[in-house]
Chain A
Amino acid sequence: MKITDRILGVIALGIAAFFIWRATLIEEPFISDPVGPRVFPIIICVLVGLTGLGLILKPDPEPQWPALATLLEIGAGTAVFVAYAELLPLLGFVIATVFAAGYLAWRLGATLPKAALAGLAISLGIFVVFHLALGLNLARGPLGF
């Protein structure tokens, strides 16, 4: 079973077709160079499409996909990162980072109390080094940090 690369090949063909279609929709400006804004993207899409065909015809052996539990782990990690990105301006850097860094430390094997401590330490450490010492702008929440 070499299904992964074949699926990838189909996706590549899909990407190629979709973006060629989108490229034809790019409005042609009144004044343009001989090539215009459409041609190069279409060339790239053709390349992607060809590699898609290649993947379907000559797939690699199946990669080692992790078990469902691990996929959920990756999914949960992604959800935490997305939540972090969205909540950063609302909560401010320090609070949001305590939770995100603590969560990661916990999932990588720290006990809960240690993870909480790690989250606090990482957050405050970055705040002190990058904001207080180096003057980098971090997200300000309602509390100002």
Chain B
Amino acid sequence: MDTLHALGDGFLVALSFQNLALAALGCFLGTIIGALPGLGPSNGVAILIPLAFSLGLPATPALILLTSVYYGAMYGGRISSILINIPGDEPAMMTCLDGYPMAQAGKAGEALAISGIASFVGAFFATWGLVFLAPQLVKVALLFGPAEYFALFALAFATIGGVAARNQIKAAFATGIGLLIAMVGVDLQTGVARFSFNNIHLYDGIDFLVAIVGLFALSEVFVFLEHRAGGGVDATKVPLGRSMPSAKMLGHVTPAVTRGTIVGFLAGVLPGAGASLGSFLAYMLEKKVSGRKGTFGAGDPRGVAAPEAGNNAAAGGALVPMLALGVPGSGTTAVLLSLLLALNITPGPLLFQKHPDVVWGLIAALFIANIMLLALNLPLVKIFVRVLQVPSRYLMPTVAMVSFVGIYGISGSSFDLLVMVGFGIMGWLFRKMDIPLVPVILGVLLGKLMETNLRRELTISDGNWGALLDSPLSIAIWTCAILGFVLPLFIGRFIRPAAVNNEALDSD
């Protein structure tokens, strides 16, 4: 029962006044970020990371703030899905299908309550899953040497590219570009400059926070400029109806919530599949199991409960590989990983050994945040409905300017701002061409680590490349990597939604 003991210590960390306040703030901001179309978990968290960093928050409070935002966004997305039929973020896309018809039938309040409770259940059990699964994964990871880590990074790239992208070639291209960007700057092992073109700013390499904020947040501003989409939506006039579902109704949706939670959690743990895929799979499964009467798509409450349990469970599940292995499986966890790296904390098994207070404090905070979110999203949901009225012509300039403030706060250099603008344009072009952005981010984040592990292994083996495939463990990981990349080419259309495109991948 070491785990529960550690979790108990975690609660002592999380229950400090500062951490509780940060969790509450994160939940509030996260729900807003999730609810507003145009701001999702990945770009919302991306904007906040440089700010948390420049404000000098220590690791635990910073992580608590940002993962609360992450959990909160998973709750918030459903609000706009249900009320205005526009998903607040991509993981909430499936919730539109039955949530909006329910709202049209005057049952918006009930839909919001059912999805809120489903979100709570999904997140609650996924956090328990994290508690028990992560330490097991850490035990395996402790056996890893450099060769296994090198293989593991390859696995992350292969599955993110293979499972989640529509065009594997483009995902591989995006990975390559990200890795190449990571190569810029002084080589850590030998101290020689690489690809710096004698530019003093490039000697230090390209800051991954600059790349992330540019690719995720600023590119969104360009998308809004492209579509001249400046309006707001008045959802305050949608009649909410009764706001608490009956016990009978809750019993009716319980099996859907259970299935959604399990499917979502598994989808979250697997590398390459984030919350969007979690909610999609949960919805499709529920439709297969209980949708024979054709009620799905016409306001079936189970069609609201399953995907919301699914995406919240996936959000918790996605934290497992990020914390235990240091390898993120989705866009938002990649962004969270960048926070750890910026704070000079290496995630992975050592994190659990060296900084148990960080890990368990974070996990305990997630339990607390989840309860706060339930409170925010059931009785207080009307506040967030009002926030939706803010027109994006005022929202997006604010997003852009806060992005600049965060990046400027890190280094105080105009050069970084210019690089960020460059990444913003690149992000817009990539989205136009259907090139996923998450592999770019992952490449930028993991490139140096991947190279370090490769060179460490070859130093140990004295230059023998065969050492990379010397252990059964690394062979197994490479096999998974190849399968993860190749199999979706054949079975991809069965597991991938036609409507969920690369942008879905980008925003969870």
Contact = CB atoms under 8 A, between A and B. Distances in A.
Contacts, number: 202
A105 B394 contact: yes
Given A51-B176, A97-B401, A119-B397, A41 B195 contact: yes
Interface in A36-64: 36-37, 40-41, 44-45, 47-48, 50-52, 54-55, 58, 60, 63-64
Contact of A139 (B54, B183, B408, B458): B408
Instruction: Name the interface size band of chain B.
Output: 35 or more
Given A73-B225, A74-B428, A119-B397, A44 B434 contact: no
Contact of A5 (B180, B392, B398, B433): B433
A108 B232 CA distance: 11
B270 to A, nearest CB: 23
B323 to A, nearest CB: 27
Interface in A13-72: 15, 19, 22-23, 26-27, 29, 31-37, 40-41, 44-45, 47-48, 50-52, 54-55, 58, 60, 63-66, 70
A85 B414 contact: yes
Interface in A103-141: 104-105, 107-110, 118-119, 122-123, 125-126, 130, 134-139
Given A37-B189, A85-B417, A85-B421, A126 B408 contact: no
A101 B402 CA distance: 10
A50 B189 CA distance: 28
A22 B183 CA distance: 12
B401 A123 contact: yes
B226 interface: yes
B392 A86 contact: no
Interface stretch (B86-94, B99-107, B113-121, B166-174): B166-174
B409 A137 contact: yes
A144 to B, nearest CB: 16
B293 interface: no
A90 B66 CA distance: 33
A136 B405 contact: yes
A37 B169 contact: no
A12 B177 CA distance: 9
Contact of B221 (A15, A84, A93, A104): A104
Interface string B430-442: 0011100000000
A60 B167 contact: yes
Contacts of B404: 84-85, 88, 97, 100
A85 B420 CA distance: 10
A137 to B, nearest CB: 6
Nearest to A12: B173
Contacts of B200: none
B225 A77 contact: yes
A134 B458 contact: no
A89 B412 CA distance: 9
A122 B401 contact: yes
Nearest to B400: A104
B97 interface: no
A37 B175 CA distance: 20
A64 B433 CA distance: 9
A136 B409 contact: yes
10 contacts: A4-B433, A37-B189, A37-B192, A66-B226, A73-B225, A81-B421, A97-B401, A108-B228, A109-B231, A110-B394
